[in-house]
């Protein structure tokens, strides 16, 4: 393996579309495309006014989410947090999370340690009135 790998994230397959979640949501998991051994990361985008159609959590992996562009909200175990450009949020294993894009959409870079098969998809329970 080379000592580095260079890819454009726009060229990475959209896993959301592949799994039938592509309506206003994209998720490009780039660890394999970059030959990462221990680091996992993704570029996720939501069109304006869209929500991720599920929540998820990990049992082992701690993740960090960085807002690259736009704004929105993040649901963390039932607590809603506002997000703005350049916000960074660390999420511990076990915490359920989901996203809701604001008027400009939401673009996130997500990264953390790689743990194959560690993610669990969940139904969304946004609080009343949110």
Q: What is the pTM of this model?
A: 0.91
Taking all residues of the chain, what is their mean pLDDT, rounded to a whole number? Answer: 94
pLDDT(129) > 80 = no
Domain edges within the chain: 30-122
CA angle 81–83–84, rounded 5-degree value: 155
pLDDT at 124: 87
pLDDT at 118: 86
pLDDT in tens, 39-52: 999 999 999 999 99
pLDDT in tens, 55-85: 999 999 999 999 999 999 999 999 999 999 9
pLDDT(88) > 90 = yes
Domain 30-122 class in CATH:
mainly beta
């Amino acid at each position: 393996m080379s000592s580095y790998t260079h890819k454009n994230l726009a060229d990475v397959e959209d896993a959301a579309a592949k799994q039938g979640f592509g309506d206003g949501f994209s998720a490009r998991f780039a660890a394999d495309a970059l030959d990462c051994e221990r680091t996992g990361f993704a570029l996720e985008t939501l069109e304006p006014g869209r929500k991720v159609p599920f929540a998820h959590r990990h049992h082992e992996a701690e993740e960090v989410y960085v807002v690259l562009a736009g704004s929105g909200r993040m649901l963390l175990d039932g607590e809603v947090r506002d997000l703005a450009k350049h916000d960074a949020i660390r999420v511990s294993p076990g915490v359920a999370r989901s996203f809701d894009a604001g008027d400009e959409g939401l673009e996130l870079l997500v990264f953390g340690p790689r743990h194959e098969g560690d993610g669990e998809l969940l139904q969304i329970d946004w609080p009343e009135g949110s």
